[in-house]
Structure 1
Amino acid sequence: MGAGHGHDHGVTANSDRRWLAGALAVIVAFLLGEVIVGIVANSLALLSDAAHMTTDAASIALALWAIRLAARPASGRMTFGWKRAEILSAQANGLTLLLLAIWLGYEAIRRLFQPPEVHGGLVLGTALVGVAVNLLATWMISRADRTSLNVEGAYQHILNDLFAFIATAIAGGIIMATGWARADVIATLIVVVLMIKAGIGLIRASSRIFLEAAPAHLDPAKVGADMVAVPGVAQVHDLHIWEITSGSPALSAHVLVRRGFDCHTVREEVAHMLAHDRHIEHVTLQVDHVQPDVLDIGARKDDNCGDTHDLHGSHHLSSGQGN
């Protein structure tokens, strides 16, 4: 027996697309001018910002594509639809942050020993405009649904770019005041550290979903304990909790019901508890009446079929094990 629920995220998806598209337009417009100024000023910090903004634009474009793809209904072999496309996008964003950080880190260290002449005034002026542009883009994306790992990936790109422009502006001011060209390199290295931190976070979060791990906010042991606490539940076996995409937890389990209780009623009560208390609404439950000789943790014979069933996944016993 199963209980499942579907949800229409169309309004949120359309809103996310509008905010992301607006941020993309702002970034591309500024990016073209920054590349020119960075070359004229001979500033690695500005060129690194421009390179980062290029990945920003690509990350937003990828996020927009993933949102459109994830909106496709389930069909054929894609029984969950294309929702995992958003997680692929988030992982791609994390990887690009790490790869870009490696390249910028290498170039910054090389320039640390042989710093070129940098035009501090151009660096400072462009960086200040960049701060304003990124503040606007960051605000736009923050208006979208950041519980989506896909949107969060694009947001982290933009947020790191904002930090980069702030560091670059400080470096430009130092160069203008003191002539110390290495400030440009130091600003780049600070941004590299932030990019590595954000990239690792995105890859770790997306990998948890690909590996079918339980969401970080859901402890399977506690969820199992809540399920066996529902009146009439004797045991819960084969409990699995995973995420289809970020913010969409799913659960499946085999529930054994005490004699004298109605399986349908118990299933509905367990499903209601999971939705209300744990916010798990995509639930699939196999429900059977328990038999006196199957209250063990080894192989058992199901109530409605004659074959034995080897347990997989976690299992939980009610505190009272009588029928």
Structure 2
Amino acid sequence: MHDHARGLSSGAHRRPLAVSLALTAAVFAVQVAGAILTGSLALLADAAHMMTDAAALVVALFASTVAARPADERRTYGYQRAEVLGALVNGVVLIVLCVWIAVEAVGRLSAEAEAEIAGGWMLAVAAAGLVANLVAAWLLRHAQKQSMNVRGAYLEVLGDLLGSVAVIVASAVILLTGWTRADAIASLAIAVFIVPRAIGLLREVFSVLAESAPRGTAVADIRAHILGAPGVRDVHDVHVWQLTRGAPVFTAHVVVDREVLDGGGAAALLTNLQECLADHFDVAHSTFQFEAVGHEDRHNAHR
């Protein structure tokens, strides 16, 4: 007995992803040209981050499209995990990028001679990147709350937005003081901002792949709610996991008074339990196995 009432996530986020990708790709090209023209490492780092933004958006768009495919007899839950795999790629790319930025920045800071940087062009290109990232972040702000995959792309856009701010500050310092090492410091600041968010994303990915209970979900509370339903005597084999962000799955064996089953009350009890999980725990997919008192199936019970 199960409930699909709330459904699982779909590919509804493809349009904002596509528009964000077009913006990101255009600004990336401008930033690469600007980095070559100005000699700015921070701008080049921001362009590299913008490139990973574009790659993340491509992966997110692809994963969102794949995840929207319906379930079939071989993949009975559909393709929801494609979003998780997309988020995994994004997180790994972010970590690699941060290492590269840090190495390059330290090299410039330790060099005896300061690099020649055109602060004016650096400022103009960084400002264009800031505007583009603001638009992309605005487009993805709602979708990232519902999809882990989109959240990975959103975090990259957000990181690049603040990266653009760092480049703008560095370019202002260069224009006002001529101190070009501010460029390398801005590069390190970008890396420091990105790393914790990338690690947080990877932790969430590994939690889903390990089929851990969703954050904030207390199995004991769910069990208590089920035991509070009329006619329920016990509950065991309780399992809660996620297919992807916002798609929790629940299964349990519920021991019920024989009078409830013999008297035709199973349907009413099932509705009661489904509404309880949907209203109190926002569970997208719930499955119950009803068992009469004295006939519990505990052969493989884990809880």
TM normalised by structure 1 equals 0.87
From the superposition, tell whether residues 260 and 8 of structure 1 become closer, same or farther in structure 2 (CA, over 3 Å): closer
Work out which of the residue numbers 63, 66, 71 in structure 1 matches 2:68.
71
CA contact (8 A) 1:148 1:246 kept: yes
1:273 maps to which residue? 276
Partner Cα distance (1:211, 1:290) in 2: 33
In structure 2, C-alpha distance between the alignment counterparts of 1:6 and 1:244, rounded to whole Å: 16
Look up the match of 2:174: 175
Q: Which amino acid aligns with 1:274?
A: L
- Deviation string 1:54-77 (CA, Å, 9 cap, x unpaired) is 000011111110111001111132
Supply the distance in 2 between the matched residues of 1:275 and 1:142 (Cα, whole angstroms).
25
Alignment of 1:108-257 (within 5 A): 108-114=105-111, 115-257=114-256
Question: Would the alpha carbon gap of residues 170 and 92 (structure 1) be closer, same or farther in structure 2, given more than 3 Å must change?
Answer: same
1:13-68 CA-to-partner distances (Å, cap 9, x unmatched) read 34x21111111111111111210110121110000011000000011111110111
Which amino acid in structure 2 is aligned with residue 148 of structure 1?
Answer: S
How many residues of Structure 1 are paired with residues of Structure 2 in the alignment?
A: 297
1:81/1:182 CA distance change after superposition, 3 Å = same
Cα distance, 1:106 vs. partner?
1.0
The answer as to 2:16 corresponding to 1:41 is no
Q: Distance in 1 between matches of 2:51 and 2:275?
A: 46
Are 1:257 and 1:266, in contact at CA under 8 Å, matched by a contact in 2?
no
Q: CA deviation at 1:266?
A: 2.6
Query: Residues 235 and 256 of structure 1 are in contact (CA less than 8 Å); yes or no, is this contact kept in structure 2?
Result: yes
Structure 2 residue aligned with 1:13: 11
Q: Residue 93 of structure 1 aligns to which amino acid in structure 2?
A: N
Cα 1:231–1:145 change in 2 (3 A) is: same
1:217, 1:51 → 2: CA distance?
Answer: 36
Q: 4+ runs of 1 displaced by more than 3 Å?
A: 6-10
Cα distance per residue 1:295-319 (max 9 Å; x no partner): xxxxxxx35x7xx61421x3xxxxx
> Normalising to structure 2: TM-score of the pair?
0.93
Counterpart of 1:318? Answer: none
Q: CA RMSD in A?
A: 1.7
Instruction: Tell whether 2:285 aligns with 1:288.
Output: no
Q: 2:7, 2:284 within 8 Å by CA — same for their partners in 1? A: no
Identical pairs, percent: 39
Per-residue displacement from partner, 1:270-311 (whole Å, max 9, x unpaired)?
2221122212131111111112xxxxxxxxxx35x7xx6142
Q: Which amino acid aligns with 1:13?
A: G
SS for the counterpart of 1:230 is: coil
1:148-197 alpha-carbon deviations (Å, 9 max, x no partner): 11111110010000000000000001011111111111111111011101
CA distance in 1, matches of 2:132, 2:71: 38
Amino acid at match of 1:94: G
Q: Mark the runs of 5 or more structure 1 residues left unpaired by the alignment.
A: 292-301, 315-323
1:81 to 58, 78, 81: 78
- Aligned letter for 1:139? W
| Aligned-pair CA distance for 1:221 | 1.2
1:126, distance to aligned residue in structure 2 (A) = 1.2
State the match for 1:50 in structure 2: 47
Compared with structure 1, are the counterparts of its residues 281 and 158 closer, same or farther at alpha carbon in structure 2 (3 Å cutoff)? closer
SS of aligned partner of 1:309: coil
CA contact (8 A) 1:19 1:143 kept: no
Cα distance in 2 for residues equivalent to 1:147 and 1:79: 21
1:6 positional shift: 5.5
CA distance in 2, matches of 1:111, 1:251: 53
- Cα distance in structure 2, aligned partners of 1:261 and 1:141: 48
1 CA distance for matches of 2:219 and 2:78? 25
* Alignment partners' CA distance in 2, 1:226 and 1:201: 31
